[in-house]
Structure 1
Amino acid sequence: MPKILIVGGGYAGFYTAWKLEKWLRSGEAEVTIVDPLPYMTYQPFLPEVAAGSIEPRHSVVSQRRHLKKTNIVSAKVTGIDHATKTATITPELAEPWEFEYDVIVVTGGAVSRTFPIPGIAENAIGLKTIEEAVAIRDRVVTNFDKAATLPPGPERERLLTFVVVGGGFAGIEVFAELRSFASALLEYYPQLTFDETHFHLIEAMGRIMPEVSLPTSHWVIKHLAQRGAEIHLDTQLTSAVDGRIELSTGETFESDLIVWTAGVMANPAIVRTSDLPVEERGRILTRADLRVGDEDDWVADAWAAGDIAAVPDLSGGGVGGYCVPNAQHAVRQGKLLAKNIVAVLRGEEPKEYFHKNLGAVAGLGIGSGVFQSGNLALKGLIAWFAHRGYHGLAMPSWERKFRVFWGWWNNFWLGRDIVSLAALQDPRAQFEAFAARPKPPAAAAPAPAPAVAASAGDTSKTVRTTAGAGVSRPAKVEAKGEPVAAK
């Protein structure tokens, strides 16, 4: 029975395994998926998680719950040698081991791409994982708690200044959601005012959201400006050392939260440890039928999809001729990839991936959104409903769909949760502070000092000692003519 190894459990990897379970006959192949995380994250929901509109666990999908016929390995793939069809699997606690496969599927996803800007590595946070989204939410709420105890001044202003770098869909969505979240929080902090909260989005290009039309992007900028948010176009971040923001325009201010959304890159931990071909941007070279290789040739039994793969966009709408790295492509590529693997196993020809983008939709905070499809643009409340409807239905499995929609329904009546769980970053801190500890062992009694005889020529004092059986006896000490008893 051939062994299929799926490297990565994100959109493309999860959907490939999910559909293979559906389409493979019993005993036709054995599927193993390897990922250090036991869940798939639905990344379009991360801005709403950061704004407290979605419960974090509802935006992830458990692999073990929904992949019931797939072998789940919670570990990292630290090497791929396709020449010998072996992969090095490294668990967190055990020793690395070699896994022999017949077919490999590389869907390792992408990570945040940063630039060597001073202070970014030390102070910024990305928005690629559920943990990052939760940390952003907790930081916002915690900063409001701290600021409410301070008098107006520089420190209070720093705590209430929030910065997002990158004006793509992810950047605009988290920027708008955080602005909406902060406005809602002010109801519970009478010590703070709206004018004390500051939101800055920094974009190096001359426009935001290239997926929508220019008039629509202008509407978004104007809409956010009316809500008290400032967007800096044609502006670069030059320094963020110790939270001090320095822009290419010369403007400076301080911030306690910097969210980085300015691009992604293929997961280097997988790409750089593989012998599969890579294109100039660091992605695995992939054909339109999702086999690894170019249009003239391919690597047998090797497939790739998702953000880690350079898949040609046959619709002509991609950047540089390739599909852009987003969930819309990754989900559809994963489904087709499973069909193509099954087809090849049965001696059939694989199909090429073709998907024409039907539109783009973004949430801009509760009750506000934007939708663009061709020349049709929807804005405001109706676009917000379209955003939630599309992504709610796109969430894999009816179990997760129900949790997401139920959470939205509860928030409609009860409001979103504003509790900060920042202590989760160090959950043992309080326990350690008050935990009883063993007393240190008692110190041994010091040994008696050895007797010292005074010099015969010393006329200022005379010390007489008598030693016997190791016990010191009283000696008479004469100093300045006054007799003193001493040991």
Structure 2
Amino acid sequence: MTASTFHIVIIGGGYVGMNTALRLQRTLRPELRDGNVSITVLDADSYMTYQPFLPEAAAGALEPRHVVVPLRQVLPACSILNGWVMGMDTARRTIDFQPQQGPGRVISYDLLVVSPGSVSRTLPIPGLAEQGIGFKTLEEAIHLRNQVLAQLDLAASTSDPDLRRRALTFVFVGAGFAGVEALAELEDLARDACRFFPGIVPGDMRWILVEATDRVLPEVGPDMGRWTVEQLRARGIDVRLSTRLHSVRDGHVVLDDGTEFDTSTLVWTAGVKPHPMIAGSDLPADDKGRIKVTPFLNVKGRLDVFSAGDCAAVPDLTKPGEFCAPNAQHAVRQAHRLAANITALIRGGRPRPYRHAYAGSVASLGLHKGVAQVYGIKIRGVIAWFLHRTYHLSRVPTFNRKVRILVDWTLALFFRRDIVSLGALANPRQEFEFATRRDLAEREARAQVAGVSGES
């Protein structure tokens, strides 16, 4: 990088970060080739996760590797640094960066894009931190798949009725897209898997959806939300609206309506909040912790700092006085507008405000089941499920991933879902450590026998 190079730093490799870098890589190709501009992407992971497909990855409909996009592969003109941002000084235009190992470093920039996204919003509920798991990352999705299948293995193997009942009870807290889709896909998987577990029928399992408000999937409208509840209950799923989780100590669930039961699986999907990095920065934030930005996506009072996505309060110009919803539809489109405005800034053009009328929402409720509201039109059943797949396939970055996902779906037409539980992946050294301890114990035992023989 020469002294005259204009350095763009992007914090976060998610929807906004990756798509912004991808678009800048194309629009600024001459400047990048000549060394006049450089782009650096900072993220803890080296891949972007397409979260709408996490439920299908968890249910085995998609290969997990196919719902993530490797940053180094799709951003060859950018520098990818893996680690964490420990602090920002926008006055000095510097970032304190900590790699995953080794000493930290200070990175200077000329223009900054802050897009770390969001994290799960938790509450101080007794036992939640120890017993719960979120559903925002690929690791969580695959762990949950392994957990559900492992509990079926346990229930089929134990003679203890209480342990069996606990293993076959699955609780999801939060009835937004993540909670409803994850529950529906995994219930579909478990129901299909029961045929391979003698002694377990779908009626033995207990699936519970707990929601603090009086509706599910608010994005698809009240009518479709009520229809979704009816469909879930028809499948035997216990949907509890206007109900809160009181505690979950040692797997013992207590709801605020007085219901109590035991479970080994509790999934927390009750909302998200902006990444905590925002609170520790010198950027202006609103009462929800989101960065305040203008319609042009630059941070208020900062012409050299931009933001978008879940962590930003982006004005919705189609609904004056409101802000854009924190979803993938807005995030991807904001990234494209953000990249175009940065390109205009570098080349002396005029930026344009972000404006996008929300087209609607689609949700999957398992194989061949879905619900949608698109441009005010209410759709349900297999057509909504097909729209869900079609829309998200069109939005998955790169042609490579689109083809791989299509192949996965095509193979699923001819073969049943895979029900292998690979829970050992969470602790790959477990077997080696066991073998090492066993060999050590055998050597100590032989040494003791030899010592006794020598004394004799």
TM-score normalised by L of structure 2: 0.93
Please give the alpha-carbon distance, in whole angstroms, between the structure 2 residues aligned to 1:273 and 1:160: 42
RMSD: 1.6
In structure 1, the partner of 2:295 is 288
Deviation at 1:315? 1.7
Q: 1:275 aligns with which of 236, 257, 282?
A: 282
In structure 2, the partner of 1:482 is none
Please give the alpha-carbon distance, in whole angstroms, between the structure 1 residues aligned to 2:268 and 2:124: 13
Alignment of 1:359-438 (within 5 A): 359-435=360-436, 436-437=439-440
Deviation at 1:442? 7.8
Deviation at 1:53? 1.3
Kept in 1: contact 2:49–2:137 (CA 8 A):
yes
User: CA deviation digits over 1:144-201, x for unaligned, max 9?
Assistant: 0010012362210110110110111111111111211111111111211121101100
User: CA deviation digits over 1:427-483, x for unaligned, max 9?
Assistant: 11111111344957989x9xxxxxxxxxxxxxxxxxxxxxxxxxxxxxxxxxxxxxx
In structure 2, the partner of 1:455 is none
Task: Describe the shift of the 1:343–1:56 C-alpha distance in structure 2 as closer, same or farther (beyond 3 A).
Answer: same
Please give the alpha-carbon distance, in whole angstroms, between the structure 1 residues aligned to 2:280 and 2:240: 39
Letter in 2 for 1:300: L
Please give the alpha-carbon distance, in whole angstroms, between the structure 2 residues aligned to 1:154 and 1:39: 42
Alignment of 1:442-457 (within 5 A): none
Letter in 1 for 2:133: I
User: CA deviation digits over 1:75-113, x for unaligned, max 9?
Assistant: 111111011000011001110110111100001000000
In structure 2, the partner of 1:315 is 318
Please give the alpha-carbon distance, in whole angstroms, between the structure 2 residues aligned to 1:314 and 1:260: 33
Letter in 1 for 2:344: A
Please give the alpha-carbon distance, in whole angstroms, between the structure 2 residues aligned to 1:374 and 1:284: 29
- What 5-or-longer segments of structure 1 have no aligned partner? 446-487
Letter in 1 for 2:294: R
Q: 2:303 aligns with which of 300, 303, 307?
A: 300
What secondary structure, in the 3-state scheme, does the structure 2 residue paired with 1:4 have? strand
Task: Describe the shift of the 1:107–1:420 C-alpha distance in structure 2 as closer, same or farther (beyond 3 A).
Answer: same
User: CA deviation digits over 1:243-271, x for unaligned, max 9?
Assistant: 11111111111111111110101110x21
Letter in 1 for 2:26: K
Letter in 2 for 1:277: P
Please give the alpha-carbon distance, in whole angstroms, between the structure 1 residues aligned to 2:85 and 2:179: 30
Q: 1:201 aligns with which of 209, 217, 234?
A: 209
What secondary structure, in the 3-state scheme, does the structure 2 residue paired with 1:191 have? coil
Deviation at 1:347? 1.6
Deviation at 1:202? 0.4
In structure 1, the partner of 2:454 is none
Deviation at 1:43? 0.5
Kept in 1: contact 2:173–2:209 (CA 8 A):
yes
In structure 2, the partner of 1:11 is 15
Matching of residue 77 in structure 1 with residue 77 in structure 2: no
Please give the alpha-carbon distance, in whole angstroms, between the structure 2 residues aligned to 1:442 and 1:150: 39
In structure 2, the partner of 1:215 is 223
Please give the alpha-carbon distance, in whole angstroms, between the structure 2 residues aligned to 1:131 and 1:213: 31
What secondary structure, in the 3-state scheme, does the structure 2 residue paired with 1:279 have? coil
Please give the alpha-carbon distance, in whole angstroms, between the structure 2 residues aligned to 1:56 and 1:209: 25
Percent of pairs with identical residues: 43
User: CA deviation digits over 1:231-250, x for unaligned, max 9?
Assistant: 10111111111111111111
Kept in 1: contact 2:54–2:141 (CA 8 A):
yes
Q: 2:24 aligns with which of 20, 23, 27?
A: 20
Deviation at 1:272? 2.7
Alignment of 1:337-376 (within 5 A): 337-376=338-377
What secondary structure, in the 3-state scheme, does the structure 1 residue paired with 2:172 have? strand
Q: 1:139 aligns with which of 113, 134, 147?
A: 147
Q: 1:233 aligns with which of 214, 235, 241?
A: 241
TM-score normalised by L of structure 1: 0.87
Please give the alpha-carbon distance, in whole angstroms, between the structure 2 residues aligned to 1:442 and 1:178: 52
In structure 1, the partner of 2:69 is 61
Count of paired positions: 437
Deviation at 1:374? 4.0
User: CA deviation digits over 1:43-80, x for unaligned, max 9?
Assistant: 00111112121111110000011101001111111111
User: CA deviation digits over 1:378-429, x for unaligned, max 9?
Assistant: 1111111111111112100000001111011111211222111100111111
Kept in 1: contact 2:360–2:376 (CA 8 A):
no
Please give the alpha-carbon distance, in whole angstroms, between the structure 2 residues aligned to 1:401 and 1:37: 21
Flag the structure with higher helix content.
Answer: 2
Please give the alpha-carbon distance, in whole angstroms, between the structure 2 residues aligned to 1:273 and 1:5: 18
What secondary structure, in the 3-state scheme, does the structure 2 residue paired with 1:390 have? helix
Letter in 2 for 1:396: P
Please give the alpha-carbon distance, in whole angstroms, between the structure 2 residues aligned to 1:321 and 1:215: 23
Q: 1:41 aligns with which of 49, 52, 60?
A: 49
User: CA deviation digits over 1:351-376, x for unaligned, max 9?
Assistant: 11111111110000001011112442
Please give the alpha-carbon distance, in whole angstroms, between the structure 2 residues aligned to 1:232 and 1:204: 8
Please give the alpha-carbon distance, in whole angstroms, between the structure 2 residues aligned to 1:243 and 1:190: 26
In structure 2, the partner of 1:459 is none
Please give the alpha-carbon distance, in whole angstroms, between the structure 2 residues aligned to 1:185 and 1:303: 47
Alignment of 1:96-115 (within 5 A): 96-115=104-123
Task: Describe the shift of the 1:382–1:245 C-alpha distance in structure 2 as closer, same or farther (beyond 3 A).
Answer: same
Kept in 1: contact 2:94–2:108 (CA 8 A):
yes
Please give the alpha-carbon distance, in whole angstroms, between the structure 1 residues aligned to 2:361 and 2:21: 27
What secondary structure, in the 3-state scheme, does the structure 2 residue paired with 1:74 have? strand
Please give the alpha-carbon distance, in whole angstroms, between the structure 2 residues aligned to 1:345 and 1:427: 48
Greater radius of gyration (CA): 1
User: CA deviation digits over 1:118-148, x for unaligned, max 9?
Assistant: 1111100001100000000000000000100
Letter in 1 for 2:84: K
Alignment of 1:149-228 (within 5 A): 149-151=157-159, 153-228=161-236
